[in-house]
Structure 1
């Protein structure tokens, strides 16, 4: 235990020195190639990496009965995003990378599934006037809640609340659907809506059993005519400063750079997305069940005192109702309800020094299929060397569900340029 603690401390100090050297308080983000003098025609390139050291305080074992190492490393995200505009009326965006590269997903020559780059987003969009846009492709204009549209560049917590990415791998490709969308605003009310093709493959590859719960693979079981389309939307009202909706990625914390208070509501509907067997073992009868998810949420981010002299507060809360079909339960997802929230306080800013932000998060998820709730607790600290462009995050996370009680300490180093 002492060796692992010393190693974690050493990693923290090494990461601190490295990332402090990269500090750029006047950095505005991204490499921009201008195609004309005023910069209205351009290509912008953004790259980021998140590297983690995770320490599991509990003993776990592999499939051969061998005890797993308590300390493990994870290339959580390695991404490149670029978008170009040669006319103010249209834009193309491309986003690719990999996620969660660990010792179990590495391959000898880098050709294994776990070590492959893939497209997260590829879409084109067209402006219809000043405030409204339509587009299509592999996109991230999701419904349900702010966290289902979360940017991974500026989260306040170590990572997003997993259950808030409510369809990841079930009807989409890593929280992205293939379809068409519209987004825009009416005054202080912003909107995004989409009609998508549901994925023909699903992480839930189970077969529906007579008299038992639903499974989420309606598209592959019932076909595209009955179960091929999914519908999503999210609407939020901006009481104070207006957030940009130029791109779909919602900011996790502004560190008091804005005064934001938004209230939102959203949905996801997938008719006959799930399948249930209403027959018998000898005479199965597969029927589709609608998947419907609704949420309401609120986000607050504001400086305290004049120009943030008293620091800044970030707070978020969401209630989400999940219906994946009768007694559905798969991994962290299930028919029931979820309440989640987090709050953080960033100490007064001084661009010449590190800025610290302690935070706490808590979520509880109930399921119709079982009596136990899934409860998650996170307590963490962000150290910003150059805003979100260079930061360290140290977090303790506890997850309880039935007999499962997982305690993890994580240290993440992130740089984006």
Structure 2
């Protein structure tokens, strides 16, 4: 927190003592790379410190928080804080981020993002909080920290005109990822209340919150946008039981990833790696894309007692994204649709479970049927097999000068090798935009299937209600 207060103090000081060669701008309309926000009524601008009179050399700051209120239907046999609970009321900080982007010249920039994720009343605590400090004082960490050099910049430094094609190279801890648009999703401009998470196939396994160390390239060739990366995955060294396959990349092989999309209508802002899930009708976008992630010897299986075999990982995605205003202009209606197909190969029958801000553990006194996924809100996240995800949202006709309402729905099909039945997941809810995507309230209900440990077939379903409050600058 001292870092945050220091940044605020620095910005305040610069605002007071700014001279002609150092101009500080607050709440100005966002410049060309974010034109989609200019068109939205009441949207906030950016926090920007100009380092020269032209504004081409600058530092931009960003702040965002997403606060969750939840009602959880727990998996059978769940204990929370040592007490058997079929349902749990919950509050937590899903995300808190501070970003800094320094444009030191037309060719060179630095990007840093740090913060915390997933702090609840019982989980997310940092070290040293003690037995009575569960969930308290989480440690902040860096999500992005990279340098970037323009080989062909977006704007010609001599003519000041926009280049039709551009190319950038960078290195560091980064999120210029492959596979899909959703793998490069913006967490502050989501269509649904939260991302489905399986869009980040290595999340907190061989990456750090979907980031890896490495070198990346990205750019535009006319209307084709692309990004490729060569990375060093984070080390995993799990040891499998007989008949089990786990994450183990001890041989230390590199990963290779890439994603490309053709932009049929308006071109999107790709100054940063993050792509919106909705523009609320401020742009006309239709893209088709495809991507891949591959690395050798990433998982390890014990086929027989003492006999081990490594498997390569190959992950593929194909997607389409449509976002545009529809109907009479005065109604300000808009449609957002995104659909993606994934083929994941982690090795035979690989499965992984996950529960966002999951506080559930096994209750020792419970003797009923349990889900193989585990307890709390755990579910099968991903595995070797095919997955199809589709989300859609519609901005309702204008009824206010200050707010917009956008109902949405999402569906996921998971056909995984390690399960004996196809899994169907459902979400629906609505976004209430107060200041564009700078300030919004979202509600979402999610329904998840649970699998029997013996049959590997669905035996029941559970739900989860989320109310999220977002502020982002």
TM-score tier, shorter chain, comes to: 0.7 to 0.9
Contact 2:122 2:135 in 1 (8 A): no
The match for 1:72 is 90
**Residue 119 (structure 1) shift:** 0.3
Deviations 1:177-202 (A, max 9, x none): 11000001111111000000011137
- Mapped partners of 1:106, 1:304: distance in 2: 43
Distance 1:373 1:250 in 2: 29
Q: Distance in 2 between matches of 1:410 and 1:116?
A: 25
Aligned-pair CA distance for 1:208: 2.0
Residue 35 of structure 1 is matched in structure 2 by: 51
Residue 389 of structure 2 is matched in structure 1 by: 340
SS in 1 for 2:245: coil
Which of 391, 408, 412 is the equivalent residue of 2:464? 408
* 1:233 equivalenced with 2:258 (yes/no): yes
The count of residues paired between Structure 1 and Structure 2 equals 381
Q: Which residue of 2 aligns with 1:4?
A: none
Change (3 A) 1:90 1:65: same
Q: Deviations over 1:283-311 (max 9, x none)?
A: x2322200001010000000013546350
How is 1:5-404 mapped onto 2 (pairs within 5 angstroms)? 25-57=41-73, 60-62=78-80, 64-67=82-85, 70-105=88-123, 107=125, 108=129, 115-130=138-153, 131-201=166-236, 205=238, 207-210=239-242, 212-219=243-250, 223-224=251-252, 228-278=253-303, 280-281=304-305, 284-307=306-329, 309=331, 311-331=333-353, 332-349=381-398, 352-402=401-451, 403-404=459-460
Distance (whole Å) between structure 2 residues aligned to residue 295 and residue 255 of structure 1: 25
CA distance in 2, matches of 1:197, 1:291: 14
Report the Cα distance in structure 1 between the residues aligned to 2:136 and 2:214, rounded to whole angstroms.
Answer: 25
SS at match of 2:183: helix
Q: Check whether the contact 2:118–2:124 (CA below 8 A) recurs between aligned residues.
A: no
Structure 1 residue 405 displacement after superposition: 1.8
Assess, with a 3 A threshold, how the Cα gap between structure 1 residues 113 and 54 changes in structure 2: closer, same or farther: closer
Aligned-residue offset at 1:314: 0.1
Q: 1-side partners of 2:121 and 2:89: how far apart?
A: 12
The whole-number CA distance in structure 2 between the counterparts of 1:317 and 1:308 is 29
Over residues 19-54 of structure 1, what are the superposed CA-to-partner deviations in whole Å (9 max), with x where a residue is unaligned? xxxxx9444432100011111000000000000100
61-70 or 99-108, which moves further after superposition?
61-70
- Closer, same or farther in 2 for the Cα pair 1:85/1:304, shift >3 Å? same
- Are the aligned partners of 1:29 and 1:46 in contact in 2 as well (CA < 8 Å)? no
Once residues 167 and 321 of structure 2 are traced to their aligned partners in structure 1, the CA distance between those partners, rounded to angstroms, is 23
1:375 is displaced (CA, Å) by 1.9
1:362-395 deviation per Cα after TM superposition (whole angstroms, max 9, x unaligned)? 0011111121233211110100001100100011
Range with bigger deviation, 251-260 or 325-334? 325-334
Q: Give me the CA root mean square deviation.
A: 2.1
What CA deviation, in whole Å up to 9, does each residue of 1:100-135 have, x standing for no partner? Answer: 100112544889797110000000010011300000
Moved more, 362-371 or 300-309: 300-309
- DSSP-derived class of the 1:148 partner: helix
Is the deviation greater in 75-84 or in 399-408? 399-408
Residue 216 and residue 142 in structure 1: after superposition, are their counterparts in 2 closer, same or farther (change >3 A)? same
| Counterpart Cα distance in 2 of 1:197 and 1:354 | 44
Alpha carbons of structure 1 residues 154 and 218: separation in structure 2 relative to 1, 3 Å: same
Contact 1:34–1:43 (CA under 8 A) maintained in structure 2? yes
1:29 & 1:374 partners in 2: Cα distance?
Answer: 42
SS at match of 2:236: coil
- Report if the CA contact (8 A) 2:42-2:402 is conserved: no
Q: Distance in 2 between matches of 1:31 and 1:201?
A: 39
Moved more, 384-393 or 397-406: 397-406
